[in-house]
């Protein structure tokens, strides 16, 4: 499916978007994602509330595009609805259906039917509780044990968009978890693991089971540092404590130097130049990494210096520009800006 998706992407955008929906639910079913996660995926893909009702049990669930369960609101008959396998699924969209609504409902219905068939032998996964810093530490430890994690070992959290491309999907502890960026695909890895064969993917630092919320926070930053196709995977270890600093900043309140750096980043060569400068010990080394002449690199650095209130090559200024550049990348990340499959 992933190979077919890659072939169709350039040929037929509408077919590509439909296959993205199929590939997304295929991966979620393979990972035994729970009902809330499946509905959250459908809601995120369609950008409207997704609902589910099981006729035999009378169970009903409605999930918003941010992945959270809705406790209120009237359940009514919607235009975008599907009855199959003893259940009804729907999208709460006002007005005409979007082009991929039918595909989303079909794959959601199939995924839920498979999920119901596995329910007796597959325990309910609640990774969200394990990764939420607001949940009591004792409860997080208890959740970890229920999920089969060993309290004396360390683990990493990996985060991916729902439309991540998988080369091979191994057996993993995984779920769809609500975040401030919408529902994301989340996996638990061993401390020695850093890659899962999917992109884009952010991998957090290794932590004990009662501190996996910190690994999750660093995984979110790492995901937003990804840039396809150049940087498909980012491992938080590569940036150390800088990632945790970035995790504490927001888009609305970025680090002070980021605003100054916005002027620099208007130059088309800025990103490559700053990246080379930060990875080198000298201007000459930076020239080699950026594959430009030494005089060209020197001229670019002079331009950057003129636009900033500090010297980006001297002492603490080098640290400041490096952290500001990483924060700028997070602020302008496109790792989660995938095309919505429900566009008309």
Q: Is the pLDDT of residue 208 over 70?
A: yes
Q: Write down the pLDDT at residue 344.
A: 35
CB 170 within 8 A of CB 193: no
Task: Please choose, from the candidates 91, 25, 88, the residue with its C-alpha nearest in 3D space to the C-alpha of residue 59.
Answer: 88
Expressed as residue numbers, the domain containing 319 is 256-331
Summarize the confidence of residues 313-320 as an average pLDDT. Answer: 91
| Residue 340 predicted with pLDDT over 60 | no
Instruction: Say yes or no: 188 and 233 in one domain.
Output: yes
Region of poorest pLDDT, from 54-63, 70-79, 141-150, 223-232: 70-79
Rounded to an integer, the average pLDDT of 317-326 is 93
> Considering just the CA atoms, what is the radius of gyration of the chain in Å?
22
- Give the model's pLDDT for residue 205: 96
277 lies in some domain: yes
| pLDDT one-digit tens code per residue, 210-222 | 999 999 999 999 9
Q: Per-residue pLDDT for 18 more than 80?
A: no
Mean pLDDT of the chain: 86
CB 208: neighbour CB atoms within 10 A? 17
pLDDT at position 1: 46
Q: State residue 115's pLDDT score.
A: 81
Question: 339 lies in a domain?
Answer: no
Would you state the pLDDT for residue 125? 57
45, 92: one domain: yes
Domain C-terminal end among 58, 92, 118: 118
Q: Is 336 a domain residue?
A: no
**pLDDT at residue 163 tops 50:** yes
> Are the C-beta atoms of 78 and 91 separated by less than 8 Å?
yes
Same domain for 33 and 142, yes or no, is: no
Q: Are 137 and 239 part of one and the same domain? A: yes
Position 172 in a domain = yes
% of the chain residues with pLDDT over 70: 88
Phi, psi angle pair for 58, to nearest 5°: 75, 10
Look at residue 67 and tell me whether its pLDDT is greater than 70.
Answer: yes
pLDDT at 160 over 90: yes
Final residue before a domain boundary, out of 118, 139, 171: 118
Domain tally, the chain: 3
**197 lies in a domain?**
yes
Is the same domain home to 143 and 217? yes
Residues 275 and 228 in one domain: no
Single out the residue in 56, 83, 118 at which a domain terminates: 118
70-84, 151-165, 222-236: the lowest-pLDDT one: 70-84
308 inside domain? yes
12 CB-near residues (< 8 Å, 6+ apart): none
């Amino acid at each position: 499916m992933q190979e077919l998706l890659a072939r169709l992407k350039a040929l037929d955008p509408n077919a590509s978007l439909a296959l993205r929906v199929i590939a997304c639910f295929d991966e979620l079913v393979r990972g035994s994602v729970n009902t809330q996660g499946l509905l959250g995926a459908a809601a995120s893909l369609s950008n409207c509330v997704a609902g589910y009702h099981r006729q035999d049990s009378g169970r009903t669930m409605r999930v918003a595009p941010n992945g959270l369960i809705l406790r209120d609101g009237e359940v009514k008959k919607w235009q975008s609805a599907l009855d199959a396998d003893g259940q009804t699924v729907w999208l709460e969209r006002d007005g005409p259906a979007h082009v991929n609504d039918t595909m989303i409902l079909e794959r959601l219905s199939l995924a839920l039917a498979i999920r119901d068939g596995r329910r007796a032998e597959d325990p309910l996964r609640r990774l969200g509780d394990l990764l939420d810093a607001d949940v009591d530490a004792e409860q997080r430890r208890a959740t970890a044990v229920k999920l089969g994690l060993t309290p004396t070992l360390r683990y990493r959290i990996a985060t991916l968009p729902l439309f991540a491309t998988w080369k091979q999907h191994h057996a993993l502890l995984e779920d769809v978890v609500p975040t401030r960026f919408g529902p994301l695909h989340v996996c638990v890895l061993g401390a020695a693991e850093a890659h899962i064969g999917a992109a884009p993917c952010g991998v957090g630092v290794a932590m004990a089971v009662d501190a996996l919320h910190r690994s999750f926070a660093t995984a979110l930053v790492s995901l937003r540092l990804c840039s396809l196709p150049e940087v498909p995977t980012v491992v938080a270890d590569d940036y150390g404590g800088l990632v945790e600093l970035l995790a504490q900043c927001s888009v609305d309140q970025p680090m002070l130097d980021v605003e100054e750096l916005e002027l620099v980043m208007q130059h088309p060569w800025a990103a490559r130049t700053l990246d080379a400068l930060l990875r080198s010990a000298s201007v000459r080394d930076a020239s080699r990494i950026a594959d430009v002449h030494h005089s060209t690199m020197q001229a670019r650095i002079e331009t950057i210096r003129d636009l900033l209130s500090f010297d980006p090559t001297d002492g603490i200024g080098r640290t400041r520009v490096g952290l500001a550049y990483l924060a700028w990348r997070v602020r302008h990340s496109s790792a989660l800006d995938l095309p919505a499959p429900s566009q008309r």
